[in-house]
């Protein structure tokens, strides 16, 4: 991989019905797709490999943040890619949005491009989910000093410098807040890009429970209280 190249990281946990399509769609526009299989038990790893991805397998489920971190470490250790794209396996994201965000990263020379469904488009988003996410956005704007409009979007572009400086340790889905909180202190530049997020019956059934918001807040509070080991 030359220094101009890009690696797409797709964290996967039991997404057998969508991962192959996601990987092959990505491979039409990106040369390198790495799936981090986070302890799936439905054969997702094999499907991803067959579709053309490199697969890194967590033998035990560790959470999406840990899966991304593994992807980042792979990129840093074994490649010289200049940019990383994080992309969900469940069909909620559009490859076209990822392409556009990458071009924006290069053109604007920023470390981080975040995606916003609220300045973009959502399709069939459940009401309660929208309420909770918008509240999360207000919370994050207050605590992380970021001017963002969407805080839990799995589609991101990160420069090599960004993944070197961001250390994800939070369990489950709280990593998303951890990532945003790390941007300003790490001295990274960022922009936000409007994107489309599609809620299919599949992704709605499979997605996080709304009550997980409480868990995320609790985890964040504990993070602030604990000394870093």
Partner 1 sequence: MIIKILLITAALGVTVLVLREKVPGQREASRRAAGLLLVVVAIIAVLWPELTTTAANAVGVGRGTDLVLYLLVIVFAYSALATAQKIHRLQHDITVLTRELALSRPILPGGERPPLRPEGPVESSVHRD
> Which parts of this chain interact with partner 1 (CB under 8 A)?
1, 5, 32, 36, 45, 49, 52-60, 62, 66, 69-70, 73-74, 76-81, 169, 171, 225-229
Residue number with CB closer to partner 1 (79 or 151)? 79
Residue number with CB closer to partner 1 (137 or 174)? 174
- For every residue of 6-63, DSSP letters joined together read EEEEEEESS-TTTHHHHHHHHHTT-SEEEEEEES-SSSHHHHHHHHT-EEEEESS---
Min dist CB 140 to partner 1, Å, is 24
Query: Furthest-apart CA pair in the chain: how many Å?
Result: 45
Min dist CB 21 to partner 1, Å, is 16
Q: Determine whether 147 is exposed, middle or buried from the number of CB atoms within 10 Å of its CB (0-12, 13-18, 19+).
A: exposed
Min dist CB 214 to partner 1, Å, is 18
The candidate with the shortest Cα–Cα distance to 157, out of 135, 183, 185, 136, is: 183
Q: What angle do CA 67, 90, 97 make, to 5 degrees?
A: 95
Min dist CB 193 to partner 1, Å, is 27
Residue number with CB closer to partner 1 (182 or 198)? 182
Residue number with CB closer to partner 1 (127 or 226)? 226
Min dist CB 190 to partner 1, Å, is 24
Residue number with CB closer to partner 1 (32 or 152)? 32
d(CA 49, CA 175): 26
d(CA 62, CA 87): 18
Residue number with CB closer to partner 1 (31 or 108)? 31
H or E element: which one contains 102? helix 95-108
Min dist CB 25 to partner 1, Å, is 15
């Amino acid at each position: 991989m030359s220094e101009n190249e890009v690696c797409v990281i797709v964290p996967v946990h039991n997404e057998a019905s969508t991962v192959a399509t996601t990987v092959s769609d990505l491979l039409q526009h990106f040369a390198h797709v790495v799936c981090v299989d986070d302890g799936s038990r439905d054969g997702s790893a094999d499907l991803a490999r067959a579709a053309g991805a490199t697969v890194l397998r967590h033998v035990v489920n560790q959470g999406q943040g840990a899966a991304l971190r593994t992807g980042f470490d792979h990129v840093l250790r074994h490649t010289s890619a200049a940019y990383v794209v994080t992309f969900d396996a469940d069909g909620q994201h559009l490859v076209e949005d990822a392409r556009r965000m990458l071009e924006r990263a290069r053109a604007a020379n920023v470390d981080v491009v975040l995606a916003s469904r609220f300045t973009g488009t959502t399709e069939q988003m459940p009401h309660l989910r929208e309420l909770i996410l918008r509240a999360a956005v207000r919370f994050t704007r207050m605590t992380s000093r970021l001017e963002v409009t969407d805080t839990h979007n799995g589609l991101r572009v990160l420069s090599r410098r960004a993944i070197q400086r961001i250390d994800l340790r939070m369990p489950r889905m709280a990593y998303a807040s951890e990532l945003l909180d790390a941007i300003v202190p790490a001295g990274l530049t960022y922009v936000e890009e409007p994107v489309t997020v599609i809620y299919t019956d599949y992704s709605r059934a499979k997605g996080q429970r709304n009550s997980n918001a409480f868990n995320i807040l609790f985890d964040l509070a504990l993070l602030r209280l604990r000394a870093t080991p």
